[in-house]
Structure 1
Amino acid sequence: MQLGILDQSIVHHSYTSTDALQETLETLQLGERLGYRRFWVSEHHNSPRVAGSTPPVLMAYLAAHSQSIRIGSGGIMLPNHSAYKVAEDFRMLETLYPGRIDLGMGRAPGGDQIAARLLNPANTFQEADYLQQLQHLGHFFTDSIGTDKGPIYAMPQAPGTPEQWILSSSGGSSSIAAKLGHGLAVARFINGFAHPSIVETYKNEFQPSAAFEQPRVMLSIVALCGETSEKAAAMRKYVDFMFLQMNRGDMHTAHPYEEIMAYEFTQREQDILGKHQGRVVSGTPHEVKTQLTALAEKFEADELMLTNMACPKEDRLKSFELIAESFREA
């Protein structure tokens, strides 16, 4: 089973954005040493708790500080941008780091509607426009589009094309990924109720492309692994607290770790957290490997993309190390 890491550059209590991005770099370099196949970064806007707002810029920095691990976006929220500009950004990355760049794409705003409007005032939030952007992107990557004045080139002309993946937390995008011949990344870390039927639809409708002759499925999940059950439970409590903040629409306040550990969830909050349960696997190395393996089989996943928003940094990094070690064991 191939493993990857999705990093969101979380700004924890007492962190600066610089601290968060430095931790992203440390996570990347650890992942490469441990043999993780991919390292993706997310796109979020108007949230002081998340420093990762511009994947292409951060990807260039990360690729320059690594050797072979694939660097990608998880994802570019395409309606926020011009498809032409995305093509140029990722062709530049592919030219600088050939064979190492992934373009994961989604259609969520990655923030609130205000930020989405500011990023792209022409954004209509309509599926038809998203589909047209994807089609245009394909043409820009293959130099196969133009006007009556001549061809249009997305520069630089790269030696290859970034590997393209469609992010999906529900059924609709799986058909899009299939028809375009892209990889499918199932975002279970966003929607804990995401069902294997997403993959079934994708595989049934898949049309081979130059990048993917066969369907390719990635499952993304929050994975929290501790050397002891107590350590895993502490990470789980931290992440659960963040889920409650997201549920309240509060991604502005960073609470101290000690405060979160001392917090007691109300019954109502426990009921809310029950709805997020499917987004997370947690426990000791054996327990986490067992859960991840079962999910991979259930979703017929070729790869697992793991994310971890927990704190402190040492526990979070150790979690990735323990999971990698558990999958290396016979």
Structure 2
Amino acid sequence: MRFPLKAITLLARPVAVMPSALRLSVLDQSPIRKGGTAAGAVRETLELAQLCDRLGFTRYWLAEHHSSEALAGSTPEVLITRIAGLTSRMRIGSGGVMLPHYSAYKVAENFRMIETLFPGRIDLGIGRAPGSDQRTMRILADGKPNWSSADNYPYQVRDLVSWLHDALPPKHEGFGVTAQPVGETAPDVWLLGSSDDSAALAAHFGLPFCFAHFINPDGGDRVTRAYSEHFKPSSLHARPLPMMAISVLCAETDEEADLLAKSREVWAMRLRTRGEAGPVPSVEEALQAAKEPGAERILPALRRRSVVGSPKTVRAGLEMHAGAYRIDEIMAVTICFDFEKRKRSYELLAEAFGLASHFPPQA
């Protein structure tokens, strides 16, 4: 049986529509600071999640990376369970599970279990990137055939959604096999991507879609608008649910934010130019690295993945992107060397958009 997915021509009218109320969410990659530890990064993730829950953010997603000296989040499904137990307001999810590494059936079991523990609060964001280097990807495969091909991914998405909703067709080889525990609700499946491939797949299946602007700042607005225009209503979603994830650094002043952002940008520059995925450097180290030959060309290009500045500057920047993407929710990923400054960035962001006013005071 061939998968009936038709290519989508990504043509969208460049019309900016400002959202009436912009919701904000969080993507946490559990960054490891130079001189810090991976265990410390995970503890910071738990603390940050509780803060963001109090501040009024809509979602809190955990990333998946493997064998990284910079990013400690290797198992989002484990962190989701812990963070959901520590919070009460936000939806908690993966941003995302790298589906080609795994059996769609086992992922369905994992997330049905989490949904059973925390009904109505779980998001299952999935992607097809390796989240690792090629050698680590082979280790993850454990000698099995290469299931990471682009041709197989749509089938995995189809099967995952089917197992989550007990909707496998009778001719499917897994028909009659149940992903336990069966419950009254199911996690929302989001497709994540930094190109038009996942957008086309999400539109075809009638699923929510999040574009990774913090990875690819080129064309995401056109891709996301095209997703919405070509969306095929499904039994799960009558309307498109578009979102974008962007790097955000908010500080008291534009000048302070610019300095703090240098750590992430130099880290990204080293990864891009040298293949070095080391820990996040301090501001002082980053400022020295910014003087290296070629940095004056690379760092401004990396800044395009971000919105950086004071609360006023950041709000204006995010609203501009929301209008271009035609979305009413943005996911912010914030990485800097100082954890207190990282927390403060989310506090200032919440204040700038009045997030806490959306919720009644907690008892």
User: Normalising by structure 1, what TM-score?
Assistant: 0.95
My pick for the range that moved more, 112-121 or 291-300, is: 112-121
The aligned counterpart of 2:8 is: none
Q: CA RMSD in A?
A: 1.8
C-alpha separation between the residues in 1 aligned to 2:67 and 2:347?
32
Matched, 1:123 2:146: yes
Contact persistence 2:112–2:183 (CA under 8 A): yes
Structure 1 position 259, deviation (Å): 2.5
Is the counterpart of residue 240 in structure 1 residue 265 in structure 2?
yes
- Letter aligned with residue 213 of structure 2: R
**Cα offset, 1:267, TM superposition:** 4.6
State whether residues 169 and 194 of structure 1, in contact with CA within 8 Å, keep that contact through their aligned partners in structure 2: no
What does residue 227 of structure 1 align with?
252
CA offset at residue 127 of structure 1? 1.4
**Contact 1:167 1:187 survives alignment (8 Å):** yes
Q: 1:26 to 1:159 in 2, by over 3 A?
A: same
- Paired residue type of 1:158: G
Aligned residue number for residue 63 of structure 1:
84
CA separation of 1:128 and 1:231: change in aligned 2, threshold 3 A: same
Select 1:203's aligned residue among 207, 228, 237.
Answer: 228
| Structure 2: runs of 5+ lacking an equivalent | 1-21, 358-363
Deviates more, 1:11-20 or 1:195-204: 195-204
Q: Which residue of structure 2 lines up, in the alignment, with residue 17 of structure 1?
A: 38
Report percent identity of matched pairs: 38
SS at match of 2:353: helix
Matching residue of 2:360? none
Question: Match for 2:162 among 117, 122, 139?
Answer: 139
Contact 1:179 1:206 in 2 (8 A): yes
Q: Does 1:260 align with 2:281?
A: no
4+ residue runs of structure 1 moved beyond 4 angstroms?
Answer: 146-150
Write the distance in 2 (CA, Å) between the matches of 1:312 and 1:273: 20
Partner of residue 162, structure 1: 187
Say whether the 8 Å CA contact 1:177–1:183 is kept in structure 2. Answer: yes
Report how many residues are paired: 330
Cα distance in structure 2, aligned partners of 1:127 and 1:105: 14
* Partner of residue 303, structure 1: 329
In structure 1, the residue matched to 2:4 is none
Q: Is the Cα–Cα contact under 8 Å of residues 94 and 159 in structure 1 kept in the other structure?
A: no
Structure 1 window deviating more from structure 2 (219-228 vs 230-239): it is 230-239
Q: Partner amino acid for 1:314? A: E
Where 1:4 maps in the other structure, the secondary structure is: strand
Residue 192 of structure 1 is matched in structure 2 by 217
Q: CA deviation at 1:257?
A: 4.4
Specify whether residues 31 and 211 from structure 1 end up closer, same or farther in structure 2 by C-alpha distance, changes over 3 A only.
farther
User: Are the counterparts in 1 of residues 281 and 337 from structure 2 also a CA contact under 8 Å?
Assistant: no
Q: Which TM-score applies when normalising by structure 2?
A: 0.87
Q: Which residue of 2 aligns with 1:293?
A: 319
Look up the match of 2:339: 313
* 2:100 corresponding residue in structure 1: 79
2:190–2:208 Cα contact (<8 Å) kept: yes
Contact 2:211 2:220 in 1 (8 A): no
